[in-house]
Amino acid sequence: MTDRYAVFGNPLGHSKSPIIHARFAAETGEDLTYGKVEAPVDGFEAALRQFIAGGGSGCNVTAPFKLEAFALATAMTPEAAMAGATNTLRFTDGGIEAHNTDGVGLLADVERILRAPLRGKRALMLGAGGAARGAVLPFLDAAPAAFVMINRTPSKAQAIRDELLAAGHHGLSLADFDTTDRFDVVINATSASLTGECPAIPSRAFEGCELAYELAYAKGLTPFLSRARDADVRTLADGVGMLVGQAAVAFEWWRGVRPTIRNLIETLSIPLERPARQLP
């Protein structure tokens, strides 16, 4: 019997998830279909329940439903609990299980595709929203020498640190860093690039930097990436690799097999005069 999966969101005209998962299914030989459910903004739960009743096996969740999906979960992974949001659900006889694959997908792109292992390195995360929260545990597990998070509203970053300390996790620095510090990896998890702005970046953050990573994708050379380019950062990347990477993690969580991602990332990357994704 063919299993059914889908992505829930509103709007969904831009979604590449059906293309990605169709490729994964073809590569792995998994018997499944993957569609789109553009649920009404005030009708996510009803649409999800209908999908489950119709035999759905799992789904991805995108804006604006990640928090609502999280609230409906009856069980969750540590990554989802830390993020406070979910982008991946699977359905069992016991209820709805939630996962957050964004951080693991980002780490896979950084370390496996862009070849910038974090062990012993200094990493800086700009922003403390849902995407940044989802990356915290995977990044700490990668054993960087330092993982610093800064945010325009410091209390949001402090709340993440407090949650980590309460759970027994250490290693995330917030206010206790020097603005002249240098970093090996700098990741922009703010929404600044969506409005054509550049987030606040410590003055020497890009000196000797190996990788500047923009979570937004298909936006070209954003102000953040332009500044990194001008600082001679070795590798520039946008979030298309995270998009494919998080989908691969979700696929493995559902099906027990991990598809390959490099060729699909290259297929979905938009060639530009000055590409936003420069592979090393």
* Whether 49 and 70 share a structural domain: yes
* Whether 83 and 142 share a structural domain: no
Residue 149 DSSP SS3: strand
Q: How confident is the model at residue 275 (pLDDT cuts 50, 70, 90)?
A: low
* Whether 180 and 233 share a structural domain: yes
* Whether 95 and 152 share a structural domain: no
What is the CATH classification number for the domain harbouring 163? 3.40.50.720
- Residue 246: pLDDT above 50? yes
* Whether 108 and 232 share a structural domain: yes
Domain, as residue range, for 83: 3-100
Output the pLDDT for position 128.
84
User: What is the four-CA torsion angle of 129, 263, 271, 211, rounded to 10 degrees?
Assistant: 50
DSSP string, 35-83: EEEE--TT-HHHHHHHHHHTTEEEEEE-TT-HHHHHHH-SEE-HHHHHH
Residue 32 DSSP SS3: strand
pLDDT tens digits along 104-129: 999 999 999 999 999 999 999 999 88
- Residue 130 inside a domain? The answer is yes
* Whether 96 and 107 share a structural domain: no
Lowest mean pLDDT among 3-17, 22-36, 182-196: 182-196
- Residue 248 inside a domain? The answer is no
- Residue 226 inside a domain? The answer is yes
Selected catalytic residue, list 66, 121, 156, 219: 66
* Whether 93 and 156 share a structural domain: no
The model's pTM: 0.88
CB 98 within 8 A of CB 86: yes
Is residue 66 annotated as a catalytic residue, yes or no? yes
- Going across the sheet that includes 56-61, the strands are 32-38, 3-9, 56-61, 88-92, 95-99, 75-76
- Residue 35 inside a domain? The answer is yes
pLDDT tens digits along 44-59: 999 999 999 999 999 9
Output the pLDDT for position 27.
97
pLDDT tens digits along 88-105: 999 999 899 999 999 999
- Residue 208 inside a domain? The answer is yes
CB 89 within 8 A of CB 97: yes
* Whether 109 and 233 share a structural domain: yes
Closest CA to 128 of 106, 104, 155, 157: 157
Q: Residue 33: beta bridge partners?
A: 4
* Whether 65 and 145 share a structural domain: no
* Whether 58 and 128 share a structural domain: no
- Residue 228: pLDDT above 70? yes
Output the pLDDT for position 279.
57
Output the pLDDT for position 161.
78
Tell me the C-alpha distance between 68 and 123, whole Å: 31
Q: In the predicted model, what is the mean pLDDT of residues 125-136? A: 86
* Whether 68 and 131 share a structural domain: no
Q: Which residue has the higher pLDDT, 115 or 181?
A: 115
Tell me the C-alpha distance between 213 and 110, whole Å: 8
Give the whole-number percent of the chain exceeding pLDDT 70. 91
Q: Which residue has the higher pLDDT, 269 or 216?
A: 216
The total number of structural domains in the chain stands at 2
What is the CATH classification number for the domain harbouring 16? 3.40.50.10860
Output the pLDDT for position 175.
46
* Whether 132 and 50 share a structural domain: no
- Residue 272: pLDDT above 50? no
Q: In the predicted model, what is the mean pLDDT of residues 184-210? A: 90
pLDDT tens digits along 154-163: 778 778 777 7
